[in-house]
Protein backbone atom coordinates (compact mmCIF):
# COMPACT_ATOMS: atom_id res chain seq x y z
CA UNK A 1 0.00 0.00 0.00
CA UNK A 2 3.03 2.28 -0.18
CA UNK A 3 1.69 4.09 -3.28
CA UNK A 4 -1.74 4.55 -1.71
CA UNK A 5 -3.02 7.00 0.88
CA UNK A 6 -6.12 7.25 3.02
CA UNK A 7 -7.54 10.77 3.14
CA UNK A 8 -9.76 11.32 6.19
CA UNK A 9 -11.95 14.36 5.59
CA UNK A 10 -13.10 16.65 8.41
CA UNK A 11 -13.88 14.17 11.20
CA UNK A 12 -14.27 17.05 13.63
CA UNK A 13 -16.51 17.72 16.62
CA UNK A 14 -18.64 20.36 14.88
CA UNK A 15 -19.63 17.83 12.18
CA UNK A 16 -20.63 15.17 14.71
CA UNK A 17 -23.79 15.01 16.87
CA UNK A 18 -23.87 17.95 19.27
CA UNK A 19 -21.70 20.06 16.97
CA UNK A 20 -22.53 23.35 15.28
CA UNK A 21 -23.01 21.73 11.85
CA UNK A 22 -23.77 18.17 12.87
CA UNK A 23 -24.02 15.48 10.20
CA UNK A 24 -26.61 12.86 11.16
CA UNK A 25 -24.81 9.79 12.52
CA UNK A 26 -21.45 11.38 11.72
CA UNK A 27 -19.85 9.70 14.71
CA UNK A 28 -20.90 6.24 13.54
CA UNK A 29 -18.18 6.14 10.88
CA UNK A 30 -15.41 6.30 13.50
CA UNK A 31 -14.89 2.54 14.10
CA UNK A 32 -14.50 1.88 10.37
CA UNK A 33 -12.37 4.98 9.78
CA UNK A 34 -10.06 3.89 12.59
CA UNK A 35 -9.82 0.39 11.09
CA UNK A 36 -8.85 1.89 7.74
CA UNK A 37 -6.26 4.19 9.34
CA UNK A 38 -4.64 1.11 10.86
CA UNK A 39 -4.36 -0.64 7.48
CA UNK A 40 -2.88 2.19 5.38
CA UNK A 41 0.81 3.05 5.30
CA UNK A 42 0.04 6.70 4.47
CA UNK A 43 -2.72 8.75 6.11
CA UNK A 44 -3.66 12.38 5.44
CA UNK A 45 -6.25 14.31 7.43
CA UNK A 46 -8.14 17.44 6.46
CA UNK A 47 -9.38 19.93 9.03
CA UNK A 48 -11.94 22.69 8.44
CA UNK A 49 -10.25 25.71 10.04
CA UNK A 50 -12.25 28.91 9.77
CA UNK A 51 -11.39 32.29 11.24
CA UNK A 52 -14.11 33.95 13.27
CA UNK A 53 -16.52 35.91 11.04
CA UNK A 54 -15.80 33.78 7.98
CA UNK A 55 -17.63 34.93 4.86
CA UNK A 56 -19.42 31.58 4.49
CA UNK A 57 -21.17 31.97 7.86
CA UNK A 58 -24.83 33.00 7.64
CA UNK A 59 -24.20 35.25 10.65
CA UNK A 60 -22.12 37.49 8.37
CA UNK A 61 -25.05 38.06 5.99
CA UNK A 62 -27.87 39.98 7.71
CA UNK A 63 -31.28 38.58 6.88
CA UNK A 64 -29.88 35.32 5.53
CA UNK A 65 -30.40 31.96 7.18
CA UNK A 66 -28.05 28.98 7.27
CA UNK A 67 -28.30 26.70 4.22
CA UNK A 68 -29.43 29.52 1.93
CA UNK A 69 -27.12 30.46 -0.94
CA UNK A 70 -25.49 33.73 -1.93
CA UNK A 71 -23.33 34.80 -4.85
CA UNK A 72 -19.69 35.38 -4.00
CA UNK A 73 -16.95 36.62 -6.33
CA UNK A 74 -16.08 32.97 -7.02
CA UNK A 75 -19.64 31.73 -7.55
CA UNK A 76 -22.55 30.36 -5.55
CA UNK A 77 -21.85 29.77 -1.87
CA UNK A 78 -24.01 27.91 0.65
CA UNK A 79 -24.21 29.76 3.96
CA UNK A 80 -23.46 27.73 7.06
CA UNK A 81 -23.89 28.05 10.81
CA UNK A 82 -20.68 29.30 12.45
CA UNK A 83 -18.53 26.16 12.72
CA UNK A 84 -14.99 24.82 13.02
CA UNK A 85 -13.61 28.14 14.24
CA UNK A 86 -9.84 28.05 14.66
CA UNK A 87 -8.71 26.88 18.08
CA UNK A 88 -12.17 25.94 19.37
CA UNK A 89 -13.32 22.54 20.57
CA UNK A 90 -15.65 22.32 17.60
CA UNK A 91 -12.71 22.49 15.20
CA UNK A 92 -10.84 19.71 17.03
CA UNK A 93 -10.78 16.17 15.70
CA UNK A 94 -13.39 13.89 17.28
CA UNK A 95 -11.82 12.41 20.42
CA UNK A 96 -12.42 8.84 19.20
CA UNK A 97 -10.51 9.43 15.95
CA UNK A 98 -7.13 7.70 16.02
CA UNK A 99 -5.49 10.50 14.10
CA UNK A 100 -1.92 10.41 15.42
CA UNK A 101 -0.76 8.17 12.54
CA UNK A 102 -1.44 10.98 10.06
CA UNK A 103 1.62 12.18 8.16
CA UNK A 104 -0.05 15.44 7.10
CA UNK A 105 -2.95 17.59 8.26
CA UNK A 106 -4.33 19.91 5.56
CA UNK A 107 -6.21 22.86 7.02
CA UNK A 108 -8.76 24.45 4.73
CA UNK A 109 -11.17 27.36 4.82
CA UNK A 110 -8.72 29.57 6.72
CA UNK A 111 -8.96 32.45 4.21
CA UNK A 112 -11.75 34.70 5.49
CA UNK A 113 -13.15 35.63 2.07
CA UNK A 114 -13.41 32.19 0.46
CA UNK A 115 -14.70 28.84 1.58
CA UNK A 116 -12.99 25.54 0.88
CA UNK A 117 -14.73 22.18 0.58
CA UNK A 118 -12.07 20.29 -1.33
CA UNK A 119 -8.82 19.02 0.16
CA UNK A 120 -7.15 20.21 -3.06
CA UNK A 121 -8.59 23.64 -3.92
CA UNK A 122 -10.45 26.57 -2.42
CA UNK A 123 -13.98 27.09 -3.73
CA UNK A 124 -12.67 29.34 -6.51
CA UNK A 125 -11.47 26.01 -8.05
CA UNK A 126 -8.07 27.67 -8.66
CA UNK A 127 -6.26 28.30 -5.35
CA UNK A 128 -4.45 25.07 -4.40
CA UNK A 129 -3.95 23.72 -0.90
CA UNK A 130 -0.68 22.02 -1.87
CA UNK A 131 -1.98 18.51 -1.22
CA UNK A 132 -1.59 17.34 -4.83
CA UNK A 133 2.08 18.36 -4.90
CA UNK A 134 2.72 16.66 -1.57
CA UNK A 135 1.18 13.39 -2.76
CA UNK A 136 3.01 13.42 -6.09
CA UNK A 137 6.34 14.15 -4.44
CA UNK A 138 5.74 11.15 -2.16
CA UNK A 139 4.94 8.94 -5.17
CA UNK A 140 1.33 8.42 -4.09
CA UNK A 141 -1.15 8.05 -6.93
CA UNK A 142 -4.06 6.11 -5.41
CA UNK A 143 -6.38 7.60 -2.83
CA UNK A 144 -9.20 6.29 -0.65
CA UNK A 145 -11.44 8.99 0.82
CA UNK A 146 -13.61 8.75 3.93
CA UNK A 147 -15.20 11.28 6.27
CA UNK A 148 -17.69 14.12 6.49
CA UNK A 149 -19.69 15.08 4.63
CA UNK A 150 -20.17 12.78 1.62
CA UNK A 151 -21.93 15.38 -0.51
CA UNK A 152 -19.69 18.35 0.21
CA UNK A 153 -16.08 18.07 1.37
CA UNK A 154 -15.63 14.38 0.49
CA UNK A 155 -17.24 14.70 -2.95
CA UNK A 156 -15.45 17.90 -3.92
CA UNK A 157 -12.14 16.38 -2.81
CA UNK A 158 -12.81 13.23 -4.84
CA UNK A 159 -13.78 15.17 -7.97
CA UNK A 160 -10.68 17.35 -7.76
CA UNK A 161 -8.44 14.33 -7.14
CA UNK A 162 -9.74 12.59 -10.27
CA UNK A 163 -9.34 15.80 -12.27
CA UNK A 164 -5.72 15.96 -11.09
CA UNK A 165 -5.05 12.41 -12.27
CA UNK A 166 -5.31 10.39 -9.06
CA UNK A 167 -7.05 7.01 -8.88
CA UNK A 168 -9.82 7.63 -6.35
CA UNK A 169 -12.12 5.46 -4.28
CA UNK A 170 -14.73 6.83 -1.86
CA UNK A 171 -15.76 4.41 0.86
CA UNK A 172 -19.41 5.40 1.22
CA UNK A 173 -19.79 3.20 4.30
CA UNK A 174 -17.18 5.37 6.04
CA UNK A 175 -18.91 8.65 5.11
CA UNK A 176 -22.12 10.42 6.10
CA UNK A 177 -23.97 13.16 4.22
CA UNK A 178 -25.71 16.44 4.96
CA UNK A 179 -28.08 15.83 1.99
CA UNK A 180 -29.15 19.43 1.45
CA UNK A 181 -31.91 19.61 -1.15
CA UNK A 182 -30.95 16.34 -2.81
CA UNK A 183 -27.21 17.07 -2.71
CA UNK A 184 -26.27 13.50 -1.82
CA UNK A 185 -27.85 11.98 -4.92
CA UNK A 186 -26.53 14.77 -7.14
CA UNK A 187 -22.95 14.57 -5.88
CA UNK A 188 -22.92 10.77 -5.87
CA UNK A 189 -23.89 10.84 -9.54
CA UNK A 190 -21.24 13.48 -10.31
CA UNK A 191 -18.58 11.33 -8.64
CA UNK A 192 -19.69 8.22 -10.52
CA UNK A 193 -19.67 10.05 -13.88
CA UNK A 194 -16.21 11.50 -13.16
CA UNK A 195 -14.74 8.04 -12.63
CA UNK A 196 -14.58 7.89 -8.84
CA UNK A 197 -14.95 4.34 -7.56
CA UNK A 198 -17.79 4.25 -5.03
CA UNK A 199 -17.28 1.35 -2.65
pTM assigned to the model: 0.96
Q: What is the pLDDT of residues 41-64, one digit of tens each?
A: 999 999 999 999 999 999 999 999
- Residue 18, burial from CB neighbour count under 10 angstroms (0-12, 13-18, 19+): exposed
Phi and psi of 121, rounded to 5°? -145, 150
Cβ atoms < 10 Å from Cβ of 74: 15
pLDDT of 132: 98
Cα–Cα distances (Å) from 23 to 30, 67, 176, in that order, read 13, 13, 7
Residue 35 DSSP one-character state: H
On whether the CB atoms of residues 116 and 153 are closer than 8 A, the answer is no
Is 10 known to be catalytic? yes
Is 153 known to be catalytic? yes
Q: Which of 16, 108, 151, 175 is catalytic?
A: 108
pLDDT of 1: 47
- Strand duo 75-78 + 197-198: pairing: unpaired
Q: What 3-state class would DSSP assign to 184?
A: helix
By C-alpha distance, which of 166, 175, 161, 179 is closest to 78?
179
Q: Which of 10, 82, 151, 160 is catalytic?
A: 10
- Strand duo 69-72 + 75-78: pairing: antiparallel
Q: What 3-state class would DSSP assign to 84?
A: coil
pLDDT of 2: 64
Is 108 known to be catalytic? yes
pLDDT of 160: 98
Residues of the chain with pLDDT under 50: 1
Q: Which of 84, 153, 160, 175 is catalytic?
A: 153
157 forms beta bridges with none
Amino acid sequence: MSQEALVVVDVQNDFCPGGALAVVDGHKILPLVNELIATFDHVVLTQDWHPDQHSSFASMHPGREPFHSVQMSYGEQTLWPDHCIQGTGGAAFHPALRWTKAELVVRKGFRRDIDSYSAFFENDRATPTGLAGYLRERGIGTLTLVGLATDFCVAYSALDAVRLGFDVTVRLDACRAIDLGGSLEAMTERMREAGVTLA
